Amino acid sequence: MKHQKPYEPSHGLELGDFRMTKQRQVVYDVLMAKLDHPTASEVYSRTVTLMPTISLATVYNCLETMTQCGLVKQVNLDRAPSRYCANLKEHAHFYCEECGEVTDLELKSGVKSTNAWKLPRGSRVDHVEAAIKGVCPACTRSKN
């Protein structure tokens, strides 16, 4: 069985041998420029306008590396292509079934993200991934 790599805390940012190449810089800039949740190919489309020679494979590599380093987060909703997100604070994702937008939901203060669930005593929690599907306020309003 192929296990996940153990989750690396995103603060601390242990970059190790991380080399800041031009490509990585552009990919990172693109992610920071617009805090929506682009897929790898959307990131590619945006980077290619800034650096026409970059390849899709490199974008994938950069996103993977940055995910490992904790610079960005990979967001997976169902089987859809992964999206990437530069918001490093703990948060959930809201997926609007009408407009397809993904927005971040902050954690309420003083609350643990696991607090709704019965965790067996003795579990160690490393990471919580919460996705909420529904209809966003804007789409709810425009529906009638």
Partner DNA sequence: GTGAATGCAAAACCTTTGCAACTGG
Partner DNA sequence: CCAGTTGCAAAGGTTTTGCATTCAC
Residues at the interface with DNA (CB under 7 A): 17-24, 39-41, 51, 53-58, 60-62, 64-65, 79, 81-82
Number of residues that bind a copy of itself (CB under 8 A): 52
Q: What's the rounded Cα separation, in Å, for the pair 51 and 23?
A: 8
107 makes contact with a copy of itself (CB under 8 A): yes
Q: Tell me how far apart the alpha carbons of residues 92 and 106 are, in angstroms, rounded to a whole number.
A: 7
Q: Is 92 strand, coil or helix?
A: strand
129 part of the interface to a copy of itself, by CB under 8 A? yes
Q: Which does 136 bind (CB under 5 to 8 A by kind): a copy of itself, DNA, none?
A: a copy of itself
Residue 56 binds a copy of itself (CB under 8 A): no
Q: Shortest approach of DNA to residue 27 CB, angstroms?
A: 8
b or e along 59-93 (b: 16 or more beta carbons within 10 Å of the residue's beta carbon)?
Answer: bbebbebbbbbbbbbebeeeeeebbbbbeeeebeb
In whole angstroms, what is the distance from residue 102 CA to residue 36 CA? Answer: 7
Q: Which residues contact a copy of itself (rule: CB under 8 A)?
A: 1, 3-4, 6-7, 74, 76-79, 82, 91-92, 94-95, 97-98, 100, 103, 105-108, 111-137, 140-141
